[in-house]
Amino acid sequence: PASPPRVLIVGAGVAGLGAALRLRRASRRFADLRLLEASGRVGGRIRSAKLGNKVVEMGAHWIHGPSRENPVFRLAGEYGLLDEGAMSEENQQVDIGGHLVLPSVCYSSQGQVVSPGLLDSMGVLFLTLLEETRGFLHAADVPVPSVGEYLKEAIAQQVKEWSEDEATKRLKLAILNMYLKVECCVSGTHSMDLVALGPFGEYATLPGLDCTFPNGYEGLTERMRALLPEDCVLFNKVVTTVRWGGSFVEPITGRLFPVQVECEDRETFLADHVLLTIPLGVLKEQQEALFCPPLPPQKVAAIRHLGFGTNNKIFLEFERPFWEPDCQVVEMVWEAESPLAEPPADLPAAWFQKIGAFVVLHPPERYGHILCGFIAGKEAEFMETLTDAEVLADLTQVFRRVTGNPQLAPPKNILRSSWHSEPYTRGSYSYVAVGSCGDDIDALARPLPEEGSDLKPSQILFAGEATHRTFYSTTHGALLSGWREADRLIHLYDGSESQRCAPKL
């Protein structure tokens, strides 16, 4: 009988692990399977860490839309990783439409608490306008190229109808600017002006009130790894070259393989199929050197045009909270800022103003008093160049200023992510940038060689969050993309067998 196909998966994030498990469970045919992982751990952008003795998330934070249709939620439930509240029917039925709204306090740069009424009315306005931007999906024409420009024009129209005094109008604009910054974190972009308007509505949400993993998101990828044979994942294997469309002989067996993968340590691997789950940020940086022969033009264009930005987290542990016990978000409004004006350009002097909000890790019985600041774009990348002491000093000044308490004690502990500097990620997650659309996501996902070629099919397959047209930027999108490519291989060899041995999930 013919030898079983040899499959290599590059990257042991949730997409790679998901694909590996799906292949192994579907059929014994896929026993010749290994994962090459550049780092020394599985999980990729799912990474839990310790701040003191508390578990915090450096990457993925929530399960977005935790309900039956969400495969990450189903797996986490099956592995027993979620608490009762998250598993409840009631939680699964809440539909937040992608916008998690939590009880908050909002401080202004003048050292005042912003009136909750004003904050709510601006929150409702912002979400209404944002919802409008999703309506251009099937439109023949878009009024402006980006979500940011649309929002700004709509805000400029609103201002004309405002009848309050100038100070209140300025504060309202500053609040809307804070929501824009939060939205930059959600989309993982420097500015909403970079996010394409037409395709924005294609991102899909699922029902369920976003939930977290009480003992760390990484429990998910650790469990997935434990279900694979011990020697299946090879660590510290940085793939540097993928030679495809070839005919490489394996000396011992004399078998011929179409693909050869080379790692930084010069070790080579032969395969019938290589499934790449390398993040888009790395592909943007490395694609020219990585592939031999080079990728076809449409694939290169998709890699160049799709967006991949930075969203970082700054965890700060306080001895005592300055917020109320039921507060779950601390927001900050810089009163001189407006969506209708240029943002501050002096990064060293004003980088911290890009932090729109700090999430309070909840509940306090589990976390004590920890804030998690989200910061996106160039300011997030600048923050990566600072030391912990510098970040701590700048943020202590910010907290003293906004609370109006010059004696406020500095946080006692700090931990930060640096996703832009991470060599195997080069940013946080993807978005559909101006100049790209959902078709680029599909082009990125298409296997090589291209259809119509005489060469052996599906030599290189592509998965990872950036290849999922409607759930990009999420863990469930990544997992589904891994399953999609596993299914492609399963069907390539034997559709009927995969039907009979369908995996549980």
Closest distance of CB 43 from ligand 6YU, Å: 7
- Closer of 39 and 498 to ligand 6YU (Cβ): 39
Angle at the Cα of 45 from the Cα atoms of 426 and 434, rounded to 5 degrees = 50
Nearer to ligand 6YU, 159 or 234 (CB): 234
Distance CA 106, CA 101 (A): 13
Residues that bind ligand 6YU (CB under 6 A): 10-16, 36-39, 44-46, 59-62, 64, 186-187, 200, 203, 237-239, 277-279, 282, 311, 313, 417, 419, 424-425, 428-429, 431, 464-465, 473-475, 478
Closer of 200 and 334 to ligand 6YU (Cβ): 200
Q: Report, in Å, the least distance between residue 313 CB and ligand 6YU.
A: 6
Q: Minimum Å distance from CB 4 to ligand 6YU?
A: 23
Contact (CB, 8 A) for 337 and 177: yes
Smallest distance from ligand 6YU to CB 102, Å:
13
Residue type, 337: E
- 456 closest CA partner among 321, 287, 256, 219: 256
Please report, for the chain, how many H helices and E strands are present, in that order.
16, 21
CA distance 399 to 99: 26
Minimum CB separation of residue 12 from ligand 6YU in Å reads 5
Exposure string of 39-56, with b = 16+ CB inside 10 Å and e = fewer, is beebbbbbbbeebeebbb
Cα separations (Å) of 174 from 118, 119, 341, 342, 450? 11, 10, 10, 12, 50
Task: Write down the least CB distance from residue 358 to ligand 6YU, Å.
Answer: 13
Nearest to ligand 6YU of 11, 123 (CB atom) = 11
Minimal distance, residue 168 CB to ligand 6YU, in Å: 30
Reduced to 3 states (helix: H, G, I; strand: E, B; else coil), residue 102 is: coil
Torsion angle, CA of 16/17/21/22, rounded to 10 degrees? -40
Instruction: State the nearest-atom distance from the C-beta of 63 to ligand 6YU, in Å.
Output: 6
* Closest CB to ligand 6YU among residues 164, 388: 388
Cβ proximity of 319 and 409 under 8 Å: yes
Task: Give the 3-state secondary structure of 449-481.
Answer: CCCCCCCCCCCEEECCHHHCCCCCCCHHHHHHH
Provide, rounded to whole angstroms, the least separation between the CB of residue 342 and ligand 6YU: 24
Q: State which residue, 104 or 417, has the beta carbon closest to ligand 6YU.
A: 417
Nearer to ligand 6YU, 175 or 372 (CB): 372
Give the nearer residue to ligand 6YU in terms of CB position, either 29 or 237.
237
Rounded least distance, CB 25 to ligand 6YU, Å: 18
What is the C-alpha separation between 401 and 404, in angstroms, rounded? 5
Q: How far apart are CA 119 and CA 106, in angstroms?
A: 8
In the complex, the smallest distance separating the C-beta of residue 408 from ligand 6YU, rounded to whole angstroms, is 27
Q: What is the DSSP letter of 265?
A: T
Q: Closer CB to ligand 6YU, residue 13 or residue 377?
A: 13
Shortest reach from residue 159's CB to ligand 6YU, in Å: 25
Nearest to 293 by CA among 245, 239, 238: 245
Look up tokens 């906004």; give the residue.
Answer: 402
Residue 422: φ, ψ to 5°: -65, 120
C-alpha span between 253 and 296 (Å, rounded):
32
Angstrom CA distances, 396 to 282, 368, 378, 392, stand at: 34, 19, 21, 6
What is the rounded distance in angstroms from the CA atom of residue 159 to the CA atom of residue 415? 40
Q: Which whole-number Å values give the CA distances from 476 to 11, 49, 63, 195, 204, in the listed order?
A: 16, 21, 8, 21, 11
Our CB check for ligand 6YU shows the closer of 149 and 497 to be 149
Give whichever of 121 and 470 is closer to ligand 6YU, judged by the CB atom.
Answer: 470
d(CA 93, CA 208): 5
Q: Which is nearer to ligand 6YU, 59 or 123 (CB)?
A: 59
| Smallest gap from residue 204 Cβ to ligand 6YU (A) | 9
Residue closer to ligand 6YU (CB basis): 182 or 489: 182
